[in-house]
Amino acid sequence: MRGKRKQYTTEFKARVALAAIKGERTINELAAHYEIHPNQITKWKKEAMAALPHIFSGKIQAADAAAESREANLYEEIGRLKFELDWLKKKLDRWD
């Protein structure tokens, strides 16, 4: 049976990816130091390199704002639906 996959924080991933980008150590040295598979470090490095051009473009901030707006709308809808459900339960209780 396989164990649970290890979860890494975004800060940890960023630190490892930055170390890989700096190139002061090889990927294998970083893998041994951080006790991570070299392929994982390579993946995080590629993700970081792909995201770098967008950091200064403002696209990330716009995406974050859109996500926050979408989240607020969903919470509002959840509240409305919960209110309606509670109202319907009360009406149903009166019929019994």
Taking phi first (over 0 means left), then psi (-120 to 50 degrees means alpha), and beta for anything else, what does residue 58 get? left
pLDDT in tens, 7-23: 999 999 999 999 999 99
Residue 62 CA: distances (Å) to CA of 14, 56, 88: 21, 12, 39
pLDDT, one tens digit per residue, over 12-71 is 999 999 999 999 999 999 999 999 999 999 999 999 999 888 777 766 677 778 888 999
| Cβ contacts of 54 within 8 Å, gap of 6 or more | 60
Residue of 62, 24, 27 lying closest to 46 (CA atoms): 27
